[in-house]
Structure formats: structure tokens, C-alpha cells
Amino acid sequence: MTPVAPPSLVERSRPLTIDRRAAGTGRAVLRVRGELVHGCVDVLAEALDELPAGTARVELDMTGVIFMDTAGRQFLDTLRDYGRRHLVPVSATNWHGQPRRILELIGLDTSDPLRPADRNPPVLPSPAPLPSPVSLERAEQLHELREEIEHLRRAIASRPVIDQARGILMATHSCTSDEAWHILREASQLSNTKLHTVAAAIISGAESDGPPLPGEVRLALRRALARRGR
């Protein structure tokens, strides 16, 4: 099984947008595109405030969402709270890729995480013991899945640090977000240092009393900047 890296770590960051699509009377369909990261709750709240009076149902189409971190849970809570306050049903469907995997990790329904849980699930009979070869195969699959989950967790934890470092490079060297990402990646490769470690060093070095960049990171960053004409 090949680990699935979050798209936002290899692509340019995409801001969140929410568009309202024409639907039947009283039904609002909102198409969500971009990343569920810091600030996504404000975008959702604004879109919900603009819904016309008399809206009887709100449906979010999440097909265009390419990345989600912990802010995605707040996004869903905001939508759920709106439904409770206005006494209307709400839903968020069509999850794909990394956001769908995150829903699985936190135990939410991947078809619609806002769907009420079954309080009286049917009691299923215990499965028969698996044959030994099948058990070994399942154990191997479980090990691969745990490695993938750990990879996703590290990627989510690294996201804020990398974004801050990109912002520092953009402000210091007058480069775009995409250029800052490539500079970080090249510095990581040239210094043989993890990307998260390079980003953390840049953030610490930007503080007034922060430590200087490690020698190998400083040289690698200088070379990466020179390649970009900075």
C-alpha cells in the first residue's frame, strides 16, 4: 500500500471558496472547494449568513475539498450548529482523497459525517475464525494501514510550521507562496534535513532572540534562494 501524501504538501495552497448552486424551493446546495484549514469556519459562516430566508435544507458538496486538518472538525461543528439553531437538516457529502481518510481516522461517517449515529445498531454474530493464511495477510495489511495513518498524522502536524516558514520567506525575499515552497523543499534536499526541521529552524531564526540557522541549513537555503534569483 502506497502512503497518500496530502495534496497541499505537494501543490500550491488553495484558499477555501463556497459557491451556492440553484436548487429546488427551500433547498440550498453549497459547493465547497479548496482546503479546510485555519479560517475555513469564517468562510462557512459567511456563506450560511447569505442564505435566503425560508431555506429548509442545506447540503454541502465536498467534492472540491483537497485537504483537511483539525480545522475541518470545527467546520463540521459550525454546520451542525447552524442546523440545530435553524431547525433545518444539514449534510456534507462527496468526500474524497485525504479529507475522506481523515474522516475515517476520527471515526466519522465518510458518506456524510453529520448523519446521526444509529443509537441501536444491530447485533451481529461473531465472525468465524479466519484461516491462518488469511490472518497473516490481514495482519500485514493492518501494519501497512498503521504506517499510512502515522504518515498522515505527521503531515497534519507539520502543516502549520511549514506554512509559517513559507510566510517568512515570502515576506523576507519577496517571493510567491509557490516559490517559497520550492525554496523550502530544495533547502531540505540540499542539506539532507527533513522539511519540517528546516521550516522550524527558519521560524526560530526569524525571532528577535532566536538562534541562528544551523550551518548546513543556512548554506542550503542560500543556494536554494540563489537558484530562484533571490
pLDDT at 4: 45
Q: Does residue 205 carry a pLDDT above 60?
A: yes
Q: How far apart are CA 16 and CA 38, in angstroms?
A: 10
- Give the number of domains in the chain: 2
C-alpha cell at 90: 444539514
Claim to verify: residue 101 and residue 158 sit in the same structural domain: no
Q: How far apart are CA 219 and CA 126, in angstroms?
A: 61
Claim to verify: residue 101 and residue 184 sit in the same structural domain: no
Claim to verify: residue 90 and residue 22 sit in the same structural domain: yes
Claim to verify: residue 11 and residue 101 sit in the same structural domain: yes
Claim to verify: residue 161 and residue 100 sit in the same structural domain: no
Could you tell me the strand order of the sheet in which 90-93 lies?
17-21, 27-36, 57-68, 90-93
pLDDT at 8: 42
Let me know if residue 142 belongs to a domain: no
Claim to verify: residue 158 and residue 101 sit in the same structural domain: no
Domain boundary among 44, 79, 105: 105
Let me know if residue 143 belongs to a domain: no
Let me know if residue 147 belongs to a domain: no
Q: For residue range 133-169, list pLDDT tens digits in order.
A: 666 677 777 777 787 767 666 655 557 888 888 888 8
Give pTM, 2 decimals.
0.49
Let me know if residue 114 belongs to a domain: no
Asked whether the beta carbons of 110 and 91 are under 8 A apart, the reply is no
Domain boundary among 68, 84, 105: 105
Q: Burial level of 214, CB count in 10 A (0-12/13-18/19+)? A: middle
Q: How far apart are CA 97 and CA 35, in angstroms?
A: 12
Q: For residue range 65-107, list pLDDT tens digits in order.
A: 999 988 899 999 999 999 999 999 999 999 999 999 989 888 8
Q: Which domain holds residue 194?
A: 154-227
Claim to verify: residue 86 and residue 23 sit in the same structural domain: yes
For the CA atoms of 12, 13, 16, 17, what is the dihedral angle to 10 degrees?
-20
